[in-house]
């Protein structure tokens, strides 16, 4: 059977062997056949699978490798399959759990994965149906969904099927939420260091939540854009640096615009311009720094094999809050009192 992501799988289904869900392989051919033989068979047989790859078996029905539709089109029809087949193939054993098969599909970004016996014989295929295939015109609808979105959906489907997901979620997420507790305590300590400044210039305290909100928001925006890089096995540093350069320019302009708006609003509370300049300058500097953290943190986590989707948010917020508080209070104290 094909796995429908609209329905997903239960925990019990995820624990069942792959053999319960595999379907017959319509696209398996003998290694001794020619390309012409394959083309003839494809014209006369009905293929139920969506995959564009074809499998090759030896005389003992053992999975030997695969070839693509492109290989059929751009090679001599008289060539035998053994001359075009690729033998490095991702597969799962029929005794493996369904959860393992789905995660293999996600990890290697496959639409389907062949199933073999312990001896290596080709037994079937596990295929995942994108939700768009259920629409009246699936070929057109699937164009609206990126490959990344599809494989994320497979991963989500597996996660939702786990009965112990609540406990697992706690164990996975709580350590990173401790980062927020830690940063809150550090921010309180920083505020205590500059308590004299806050007492002398009370209006600075009024704008702390606003400054933190601006910096947290821009760091989250930058992080969301940076997460696209984690779908590659190796970090594309050239692209990351390009993204960082764009983010620096964008965050600087956003910081200037935000500082002007906040500065104008400040005039409704006070006519003392010195604190206004301190607040506005802190906003620009903090927002630029926060955007840098947002871009680099997910990439750094991915490079050390941690899950950025879980860890990046709390860590980015932790760093943003601590650095923003230090810049805001430290910069304002220096500006207003020269210390």
Residues 15-61 pLDDT 10s: 788 888 888 888 899 999 999 999 888 888 776 666 678 899 998 89
- Band of pLDDT at residue 198, cut at 50, 70 and 90: very high
Tell me what pLDDT residue 4 has.
56
CATH assignment of 3-161, among 3.10.580.10, 3.30.470.10, 3.30.70.1450, 3.40.1670.10: 3.10.580.10
Q: Closest by alpha carbon to 292, among 239, 240, 248?
A: 248
**250-259, 298-307, 330-339: range with lowest mean pLDDT:** 298-307
Domain with CATH 1.10.357.20 in the chain: 166-337
Domain with CATH 3.10.580.10 in the chain: 3-161
Question: Which of the given ranges, 102-111, 123-132, 214-223, has the highest pLDDT on average?
Answer: 214-223
Tell me what pLDDT residue 112 has.
83
**Residues 71-96: pLDDT tens digits?**
888 899 999 998 999 988 889 999 88
166-337: CATH homologous superfamily? SLC41 divalent cation transporters, integral membrane domain (1.10.357.20)
Q: How far, in Å, CA of 251 to CA of 236, rounded?
A: 22
Helix pair 308-337, 165-193: axis angle to 10 deg: 10
CB burial class (10 A; 0-12, 13-18, 19+) of residue 60? exposed
Q: Are 6 and 114 in contact (CB under 8 A)?
A: no
Q: For 143-170, what is the mean pLDDT? A: 50
């Amino acid at each position: 059977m094909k796995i429908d992501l609209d329905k997903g799988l239960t925990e019990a289904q995820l624990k069942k062997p792959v053999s319960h869900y595999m379907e017959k392989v319509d696209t398996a051919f003998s290694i001794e056949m020619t390309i012409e033989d394959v083309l003839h068979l494809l014209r006369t047989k009905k293929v139920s699978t969506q995959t564009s790859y074809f499998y090759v078996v030896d005389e003992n029905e053992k999975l030997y490798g695969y070839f693509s539709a492109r290989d059929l089109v751009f090679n001599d029809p008289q060539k035998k399959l053994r001359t075009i087949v690729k033998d490095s193939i991702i597969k799962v054993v029929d005794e493996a759990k369904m959860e393992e098969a789905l995660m293999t599909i996600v990890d290697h970004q496959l639409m389907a994965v062949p199933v073999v016996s312990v001896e290596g014989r080709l037994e079937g295929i596990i295929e995942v149906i994108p939700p768009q295939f259920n629409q009246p015109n699936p070929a057109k609808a699937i164009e609206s969904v990126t490959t990344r979105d599809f494989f994320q959906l497979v991963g989500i489907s597996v996660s939702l099927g786990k009965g112990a997901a609540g406990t697992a979620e706690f164990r996975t997420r709580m350590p990173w939420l401790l980062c927020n507790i830690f940063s809150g305590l550090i921010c309180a300590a920083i505020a205590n260091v500059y308590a004299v400044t806050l007492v002398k210039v009370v209006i600075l305290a009024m704008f702390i939540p606003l400054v933190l909100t601006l910096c947290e928001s821009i760091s989250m925006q930058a992080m969301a854009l940076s997460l696209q890089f984690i779908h590659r096995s190796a970090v594309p540093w050239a692209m990351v640096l390009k993204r960082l350069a764009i983010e620096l320019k964008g965050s600087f302009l956003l910081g200037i615009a935000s500082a002007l708006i906040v500065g104008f609003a400040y005039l409704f509370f006070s006519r003392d311009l010195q604190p206004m300049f301190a607040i506005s300058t802190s906003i620009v500097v903090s927002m630029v720094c926060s955007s840098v953290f947002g871009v680099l943190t997910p990439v750094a986590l991915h490079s050390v094999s941690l899950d950025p989707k879980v860890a990046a948010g709390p860590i980015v917020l932790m760093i943003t809050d601590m650095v923003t508080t230090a810049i805001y209070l430290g910069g304002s104290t220096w500006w207003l009192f020269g210390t």
